[in-house]
Structure 1
Amino acid sequence: MTHNRVQAYYHVQHAAEPSVIRTPEDVDALIDVLATGDEFENSAILHSSERELLPSGFPDHEFRVGADGKRQVGVLSFMDEKNYVSLGSSASNGGEVTYFVAENPTDFPDTAEIPLALVRQAAKEFLSSGGQRPTCAQWQEPEIW
């Protein structure tokens, strides 16, 4: 049994009380909600409780997962000392795609979209690794972020 804990923020009410992710099944449920729910709540910010907090009391990292159920793709971002976004295999048109946390938009390079199954796998790895950047996905440093 895992004792890992991740706090997830994707609805407005999570500002006061985040959702808690403890198991791979919880990850699947989260991705399902993002993929099938409101189009303006299709991504979540995750923080691992296994990592140290900054002196300010804020997490020293941020992991974001986004899911587009209609197209079966999603995005990842990871921030700690540097910022990274997932790197998909599609050629870039130089455009952007937008994902939303509680109706707040974030633009990603169109090359950041990856298969939804890989988004699930990466989120499970984040949970099981104690909040480390998942190694199952390829990463790029975005030009603007």
Structure 2
Amino acid sequence: MVLLRRVIGDALRTRRQGQHRTLREVSSAANVSLGYLSEIERGHKEPSSELLAAICDALGARLSELLREVSDTVALAEQMPGVLVPVQDEPAGQQPASVPASAHGKAAGRAVRQVSSDGSVSVQVRQDSALKATLRARVRATDRDVVCAA
């Protein structure tokens, strides 16, 4: 299931980072607290239409552009069955093969699961956001990582 607040948050964060602006700069320009803007970008809070318009104005974007982008993302997600299935917890009695989030720097606070390992190759999946997951394969013989984000 797609959570609209997460797609909106991702779109806002992408625009802000694309402009190389900080949360503090945008929160000040939009007259919203830095913490609340951060919660919106992470998809934890759903902004009102007035607040969303103020944030878009601070980013120099039209509200209609942002909503069109969000709509396109949701439409794409709806066409891809199975892609949006969240990382599930392991069944009762089984220990998840988790990788410490601290081992991946930016992965802190995100679900990282060891999907497969045969001793020479290991595969991990990290849920980055509602619509983004990173697959990491490590080949032990060459000690090289192959990373794919979608």
TM-score (norm 2): 0.24
Q: Could you say which structure has the greater relative contact order, defined with CA pairs below 8 angstroms and 6 or more residues apart?
A: 1
Higher helix share: 2
TM-score (norm 1): 0.24
Higher strand share: 1
Instruction: Answer with 1 or 2: which has the greater Rg.
Output: 2
